[in-house]
Each structure stands twice: as C-alpha cells, then as structure tokens.
C-alpha cells in the first residue's frame, strides 16, 4: 500500500496554488470506480477493528483519540464522507459535530470555544463537518472580523491544534477539493430532483460567486496551518468513490500508526470463571427454577 499521507499532505509554509491541483485526479487510488468501491468496502472491517481497539484502550487509561476535520466548498462531499466513510465505523464510538453559523452564545466566546465543546473523548473518533477553519474562511471572505483579528487566528489555530496533539489527539485535516464546474453539476443535480430541494439554498449561488476569494482563503489557511503536528491533506473530490477511498485510507494509516492495544484485564480470570460456572440464583424470586432452562 502506498503511503497516502505523504502523497496528499499539503506542505506548510509556502502558499500553494489550488488551481494547479487536478480535482478529478486519483493519486495513489484504485484504477477505477468499481475497484475503488470494492477497496473502500474492504477497508470497513479493518477500520472498525482498529476503532474497537482504540475504544478498548481508553478503558485501560489510554487517552488517545482521533479527530477528523472536514472542510471544502458547498457540495464538496463533507456530508457524503460522514455517510459513507464514518458509516463504516461503530456509531457508538463516533462523535460527530456539524458546525453551522455561530449562535449568539458562541459569538460571545472566543472562536475556539464551541470547538472545544465538541472534541472527541479518549477512545473516540471525532468528526467535524466544518470547523474552526470557518473562522478564517467565510470570516475572511465575508469580512466578519477585522483583518488584524483574522490574521491572529492562524497562529491561535496552530497553537490550539498543537495542544490537542500533545494531549493525545491525532488530528486529520482533510480539504475536499472540487472544481467550479463540478460544483455547478452538483447544484444542478439538486435542482433537478425535488427530493433534493431541501439541500438547496439560493444563497449557495451567492457564495459560489465568491469562488476565487474562497480559494484564496483556503490557500492561505492550508499554508499557514499545515503544521508538522497537524498537517492538512488535500483530497481531490470530484470523484466521490476516490474521495471515500482516500479518506478511509488516511484514517486507516493514522489508526495503524496509533496501533491501539486491548488493555490487559486487571482481574483474576480463573476465579471469575469459577464463580460464574458455580453461581445460581439464590432466591428464584419470580420463579426461575434451576435446571429448567429457558421458558
């Protein structure tokens, strides 16, 4: 298996040119859609097994957890990723948070406050559908904060994420990169299907008019916040099957590196087995007669 992390990692520091990345590419991926769907399905049991080990480890005191941050333009597939990739995991160990426009209470706190409330706990996999990055994306494009405040946020984000990593969080940040034309196709698809009208908002077209400004905001955020501790990954996302495969594979690579272990039992197995084999209901109470088996 190729090391997809190396392939998709965004170099920090120097600003990249997003238009130089092919949104329909399939770097490191299976040869075609059929192979991609099969490969992703095959990853499911491996991901679920690692997740169980991660959760089990937390019951033995291991504080580690994983946080997947999903960012991308409207229709880039953040929701689809949750459905198809996170759907491969046991839902009880996933903590999913979709960030919307901040509430009044959230605005009265530092911008990282609401993010702190939604962090995964030890053993969990956290998923952010949008995140604190909105505060340097839409906030920048729409001028929701003074330039000086916006500019400070990149450093605040870097320090925040470094603290998370130090506290045992593996941070996996994924930018879903789609093209302007692909977004048009997907928005038209929503318009053409009345059962998808609820997903459509005419305001999406206004946002779309700001495409270049958003791409610029992403380029800056990726450059300034792709750190050693918490790098950004750029996933070409025009092909949904590739997107799902790539994110599944990124998660697998990180979980395998974490290599969580089942904790050893801290009890006497033989004694417990003996007690179980010998026990019986002292007072049958409601009337469970011994040796009668089930009714």
Considering only residues 108 through 147, tell me which ones interact with its own copies, judged by CB under 8 A: 129
Question: Taking CB under 8 A as the criterion, which residues in 78-107 touch its own copies?
Answer: 79, 82-83, 86-87, 89-92, 94, 96, 98
| 285 secondary structure, DSSP code | T
Closest CA to 118 of 139, 132, 138: 132
> Helix crossing, 33-59 with 240-258: angle to 10°?
30
Question: Taking CB under 8 A as the criterion, which residues in 148-207 touch its own copies?
Answer: 179-182, 184, 187-188, 191, 194-195, 197-202, 205
- x/- track of binding to its own copies for residues 13-42 (CB under 8 A): ----xxxxxxxx------------------
Q: Which is nearer to its own copies, 107 or 281 (CB)?
A: 281
Q: What is the nearest approach in angstroms of its own copies to the Cβ of residue 159?
A: 28
Half-sphere exposure of 51 (CA within 13 A, CB side): 23
Question: What stretches of the chain show up as alpha helix (H) in DSSP?
Answer: 4-8, 33-59, 78-84, 104-107, 113-117, 138-141, 147-166, 180-192, 203-209, 211-225, 240-258, 269-278
Contact indicator for 36, 241 with CB cutoff of 8 Å: yes
Q: Which is nearer to its own copies, 146 or 194 (CB)?
A: 194
Q: What is the nearest approach in angstroms of its own copies to the Cβ of residue 157?
A: 22
Q: Which is nearer to its own copies, 163 or 193 (CB)?
A: 193
Question: Taking CB under 8 A as the criterion, which residues in 54-83 touch its own copies?
Answer: 56, 59-60, 79, 82-83
């Amino acid at each position: 298996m190729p090391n997809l992390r190396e392939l998709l990692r965004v170099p920090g520091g120097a600003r990249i040119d997003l238009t130089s990345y092919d949104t329909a590419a399939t770097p490191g991926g299976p040869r075609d859609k059929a192979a991609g769907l099969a490969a992703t399905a095959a990853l499911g049991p491996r991901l679920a097994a690692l997740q169980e080990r991660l959760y089990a480890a937390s019951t033995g005191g291991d504080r580690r957890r994983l946080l997947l941050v999903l960012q991308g333009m409207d229709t880039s597939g953040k929701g689809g990723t949750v459905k198809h990739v996170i759907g491969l995991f046991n839902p009880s160990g996933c903590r999913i948070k979709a960030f919307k426009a901040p509430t009044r209470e959230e605005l009265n706190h530092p911008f990282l406050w609401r993010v702190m409330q939604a962090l995964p706990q030890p053993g969990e996999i956290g998923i952010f559908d949008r995140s604190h990055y909105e505060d340097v994306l839409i906030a920048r494009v729409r001028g929701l904060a003074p330039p000086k405040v916006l500019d400070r946020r990149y450093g605040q984000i870097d320090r925040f994420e470094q603290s998370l990593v130090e506290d045992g969080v593996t941070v996996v940040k994924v930018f879903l990169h789609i093209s302007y034309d692909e977004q048009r196709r997907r928005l038209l698809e929503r318009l053409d299907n009345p059962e998808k009208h609820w997903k459509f908002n005419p305001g999406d077209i206004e946002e779309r008019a700001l495409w270049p400004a958003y791409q610029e905001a992403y380029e800056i955020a990726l450059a300034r916040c792709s750190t050693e501790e918490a790098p950004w990954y750029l996933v070409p996302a025009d092909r949904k099957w590739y997107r799902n495969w790539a994110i599944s594979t990124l998660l697998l690579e990180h979980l395998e590196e974490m290599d969580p272990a089942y904790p050893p039992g801290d009890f006497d197995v033989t004694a417990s087995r003996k007690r179980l084999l010998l026990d019986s209901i002292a007072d049958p109470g409601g009337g469970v007669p011994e040796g009668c088996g089930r009714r």
